[in-house]
A and B are shown apart, each in its own frame.
Chain A
Amino acid sequence: MNAPMNQSDGELERAPVREPYRAGEEPLVRARRLSKRYGKGDGLVRAVDEVDLEVAAGEAVAVMGPSGCGKSTLLHLLGGLDRPSDGELWLGDRRIDQLSERKLAEMRRHDVGFVFQAFHLMDELTAQENVELPALLAGRSPRQARRRARALLEEVGLADRARHLPCALSGGQRQRVAIARALANEPRLVLADEPTGNLDSTATLEVLRLFERLHARGLTLVIVTHDERIAATADRLVSMRDGAFVDEMPLVGGTRGRLADLVGLGG
C-alpha cells in the first residue's frame, strides 16, 4: 500500500510519487447515498444528505458551500473520523463505512492525511517531532521517522524551523508543518478542512503553492473551503447546501500556474 519510506526521502521535489490526474481514472474514493444525521424527530439534522461522490486517484476536488452546509462533516466521513448514518463509502477497493474503529484507525494511519483549519499541532512538540509522530504511530523506527520528517520539512520549506515549537511559528508555517505531517505516511488521500481559513494572504499563497505541488505530483486531494480562489485550483468543484450536493463543475484546463493571479497576489 505504501512505498518504502527511504525511497522517497529527499526525493519529493524530483520524483513524483504518482502520475498526475487525468480524467477517467479509476476512483480512489466512492460514496453512494452517504448520509449523516444527528438528532431525532423535530430536532433531526441532515448534516450530509444522500451524497454521491467519486474522487479519482490523483484528482483534486474542492468542496464549497456556506458555513454549516455539511462540508466538514463530509470530510470527516471520508477520512473515517466519523461514521455515516447511511450509505456506502469505499476507499480504493475497500468498503470503509462498516469498518471497526481499529480498522478505521489503521486506514487513517496509512491511507489518509488530514490538514485542519486550526492546524492541530501538538503544542509541546517541535515542528520535526510533530511531523515524526504519524510515522512513529505507524511503527516506523525513530531514525526512519526523523529522516522522513526532515525531508518533508525541507519540502515545505521549513528545514530551518525543524526545532521550533508551534508557538514560535507563524500561521502559515504551522499549516505547512501540518501538511508535512499529513504526508508523513505517504497517504493515498489528503483531506484538507479549510486549510487557509486561519491564514493571511501571504500564508494562504504559501499553502496553496504547496498543495499545487502535491497535486502536480499526483496526490489525491479533497479540500473543503469557502474561498473561491482556492477552489479554482482544483480539478473539480462541488457545491454543497443543506447537506447535499447542488452543483458540480469540472475546472478544465486547470487554473494551476496562475495561482498568484487568482489569489490577487501576483506581481
Chain B
Amino acid sequence: MGRARLVCRLAAKDLRHHRAEAALLLLAIVAATATLTVGLALHGVTSNPYAATRADTKGPDVVAVEMARPGGPSQLTALEHARGVTGYSGPYLLAFPTSLEADGHSDPVMAEGRATAAAPVDQPKLVSGRWVGHGGVVVERSLADLLGLKVGESVRLGNDGTYGTPAGPGSMRRFEVVGIAVTAALQPSSVATYMHPTGFPEPGLVWVTRSAAAELARVDGGPFAYTLNLKLADAAAAPAFVTAHETNVVSLTSWQSMSARAGYIVSVEREILLTASWLLGLLALASVALLVGGRMEQRTRRVGLLKAVGATPKLVTSVLLGEQLALALAAAALGLVIGWLASPLFTNPGASLVGAPGSPALDVSTIAIVIAAAVAIALVATFVPAIRAARRSTVRALADAPRQPRRGRLSIAVSSRLPVPLLLGMRIASRRRRRALLSATSIAITVGALVAVLMFREQTHFVETAGGLYRFGGPGDPLWERAATVMLVFTVALVALALVNAIFVTWATVQDARHAMALDRALGSSPEQVTLAVVAAQLLSALPGAFAGVPMGIALYIVAGRHTPSAPSPLSLVAVVLLTLVAVAALTAIPARIGARQSVAEVLRAETA
C-alpha cells in the first residue's frame, strides 16, 4: 500500500512539474479517443430509429411506384391483392419535380397527395402541428430541419421553371406549413434518379391533399407517379416479393433497402470515423512515443536520484508507467465525454429522414474499447523507454549523460560530399534513427489521410448499397456534404496532432543536437547553416514519409471505402507532398533558429558542467 502510494505521489509530482508536456500528451491521446468514441457510438444509430419509426408509423414492408400519365396507375392496383399482401394504402399521387420556395430559396420536393384521414399503412408521425388539410402542407422533418421551416410559416409550391417545363402564370401556389412529420416510407431511388439524372440532390418529401397534389402535377407539366404502400404477411420476405413483382413499369423497394438507404449517411460517416480513429490512434501512438522518449531523456537525472536513494528498477519503471497510465485514463475519460457530446452532430439531421436518431449509444463495450485503446497507446509508447531508463547505470544517470548518438557510417561518408547544411543535417538525422522513423511515420499517416480526403473530395464514385447502385459525390449531394464535414473534422484533428508531433520532434531534435550544433558553430558553421541543417534533418525524415503517404492514402481510400477510385490528380498529390514538406520546414525553422542563436560558449559550458 505504502509502495503504491509512493509511486502515485512521485508520478503526480512529476506531472505537476511538467504541465506543458503532460498537456501535449493528453491532447494527443484525447484526439484519438474522442474520434474512436464517435465512430463506435454511431454504431446502430440508424437501425434503431428506423425500426422505431417503422413501428410508430405503421411503415410499409414494400413501397411500389409507377410512373404514369393522368388517368391513374395501370399496374399498381394489381399489387393490392398479390399473394402475401395483407394490407395497403394508396395509390397516392406523387407530384414531381415540384419546387418548394421558402425565404427566396427554391428546393426540389416530391409532393404526395394524401387523404385527411389516417391510412392503414404508412401513417406519417407528426412531430409538430397537424395533418394535411386545404391549403396546408406537411413537411418531412429532415427537409424542415434543412430549410429551417416551422409550423405556421408560408411556402410556395409548384413549377418555377427550375426542374420541369417552363413556368407559366399561376404555376406557384402558396401553402401554409401545418405540420412536420417523419415517415419510414422512403420513396424509391428511381424517383429521385428520374428527377435528377445525376441522382442527387435527393428531393425532400412533403404531403398535401389529394386535390392539391393533382393540381401540382398539372402545373409541373412533366411526368408524375403513383405510390402504393404494402404490408406483407412476412415482412422478412419483402426482398423476395420485390424480385417477384418488379416490372419495367413498377418499381418496388423493400423496407430492408429503405433502412439501409436511411442508414447509409451515417454508415458512411461511421466508416470514415472508424478509419479516422485508427489513423489518429496510430498518430497518437507516434506522438506519445516521441513525447515519452523526450520526457525520459529529461528524467535521466531524476531516475538516477531515485535509484541512488534506493529505488529499484521496478519502482522506477512503475513511476514512469504510472504517469503515463494516469494521463491515458484522464485522456480516455475526456475523449469519451467529447466523443459522446460530438456524436449527435454527426447523426442529425440525416438520420431524422426516418425518425429521431436518439442519443448515440455509449455502452459498456464502447467505454471499454476506448479506455483500452488509450491505455494501450500510452503503455506501448512508454514501455521500452521506461525500461531503458530504469536499467540505465545509476552513475551515468546521475551524471545526466545523454544517450550515445548512433553512428551512421554511410550517412557520414555520403554527407562529406554535400554542402554544409546537408552535411550537418544528414548527420543530425542519423544520430537518432528511432525518432526519425517515428517522425517519418507521423508524416506518412498525415499525408496518407490528406490524400484520402483529397481523393474523396475530387471524385464522384458509385457506391453499392443494399438499395442498389448509388452515384455518390460532388458538392450538393447531401451524403457527400455530410461525409465531407466529417472528413474535415477528422482532417483538422489529424493535422493538429501532426503539428504537435512536428513541433515536438523539432524541439527534441534541437535539444538533442544542441551540443553538436554549438560545436559546429565553434568550428565555423554560421547560425544560418546550422538552422538549415536542422531543417534539412527534419526534411530528410519527412521526405520518405511524405512519399510513402501518397500510396498509403490511395490504399486507405480503396480499402476503407471499398471504392474503386479513378486516378487522383497528380498535381494535387504533388501539392499535398510539397505543402507538407513546406509546413515541416516552416515549423522546424523556428525552434532551429532559436537553437542556433544560443550562445555557443554557454552551451559548451553547460555540456561540460
Contact = CB atoms under 8 A, between A and B. Distances in A.
Given A123-B404, A124-B407, A124-B431, A134 B524 contact: yes
A133 B601 contact: no
A50 interface: no
Interface string B439-457: 0000000000000000000
A102 B608 contact: no
A124 B525 contact: no
Nearest to B599: A82
Nearest to A142: B416
A123 B528 CA distance: 24
Interface string B402-429: 0011111000100011001001000100
A117 B608 CA distance: 8
A91 to B, nearest CB: 14
A217 B604 CA distance: 29
Nearest to A103: B526
Contacts of A233: none
B399 to A, nearest CB: 13
B464 interface: no
B519 A73 contact: no
A227 to B, nearest CB: 17
A167 interface: yes
Contact of B604 (A102, A116, A129): A116
B600 interface: yes
Given A81-B600, A165-B407, A106 B526 contact: yes
B571 interface: no
Interface in A97-142: 101-102, 105-106, 108-110, 114, 116-118, 120, 122-125, 129, 132-134, 136-139, 142
A102 B527 CA distance: 7
A64 interface: no
A133 B525 CA distance: 11
Contacts of A114: 522-523
Contacts of B608: 116-118, 120
Given A122-B519, A167-B404, A110 B524 contact: yes
A225 interface: no
A120 B601 contact: no
Contact of A105 (B408, B524, B605): B524
Given A105-B527, A117-B608, A137 B522 contact: no
Counting contact residues on chain A (CB < 8 A from B), the size range is 35 or more
Interface string B524-550: 111111000000000000000000000
Contacts of B527: 101-102, 105
A72 B600 CA distance: 13
A138 B423 CA distance: 12
Nearest to A110: B524
Nearest to A185: B524
B416 A118 contact: no
Contacts of A109: 523-525
Contacts of B605: 72
Interface string B498-526: 00000000000000000110011111111
B481 interface: no
A132 B416 contact: yes
Contacts of A79: 522
Q: Which of B519, B528, B601 gathers the greatest number of chain A CB atoms within 10 Å? A: B601
B416 A82 contact: no
Interface residues of B, number: 33
A177 interface: no
Nearest to B404: A123
A101 B404 CA distance: 30
B607 interface: yes
Interface in A148-173: 165, 167
Contacts of A124: 404-408, 412, 427, 430-431
Interface in A214-261: none
Given A116-B608, A124-B406, A125-B412, A76 B601 contact: yes
A137 B416 CA distance: 9
Nearest to B524: A109
Contact of B525 (A72, A137, A142, A145): A137
A101 B530 CA distance: 12
Contact of A129 (B412, B515, B519, B520): B412
B416 A136 contact: yes
A119 B526 CA distance: 21
Contacts of B420: 136-137, 139
Interface string A68-81: 00001100100101
Nearest to A182: B523
B526 A105 contact: yes
B524 A138 contact: yes
B524 A108 contact: yes
Contacts of A120: 515, 519, 522, 604, 607-608
B432 to A, nearest CB: 10
Q: Which of A110, A116, A132 gathers the greatest number of chain B CB atoms within 10 Å? A: A116
Interface string B254-268: 000000000000000
A132 B604 CA distance: 20
A139 B417 CA distance: 10
B528 A102 contact: yes
Contacts of B524: 105-106, 108-110, 134, 137-138, 185
A72 B599 CA distance: 14
Contacts of B431: 124
Contact of B423 (A101, A136, A165): A136
A103 to B, nearest CB: 9
A162 to B, nearest CB: 14
A125 B529 CA distance: 20
B159 to A, nearest CB: 75
A79 B605 CA distance: 15
A118 B525 contact: no
A101 B405 CA distance: 28
A82 B601 contact: yes
8 contacts: A72-B601, A102-B526, A109-B523, A124-B405, A124-B406, A124-B408, A137-B524, A142-B416
Given A120-B604, A124-B430, 13 more contacts: A105-B526, A106-B526, A108-B522, A118-B604, A118-B608, A123-B404, A123-B405, A124-B427, A125-B412, A133-B523, A136-B420, A137-B524, A181-B523
Interface of A: 72-73, 76, 79, 81-82, 101-102, 105-106, 108-110, 114, 116-118, 120, 122-125, 129, 132-134, 136-139, 142, 145, 165, 167, 181, 185
Q: Which 4 A-B pairs have the closest CB atoms?
A: A109-B524, A105-B526, A76-B601, A124-B407
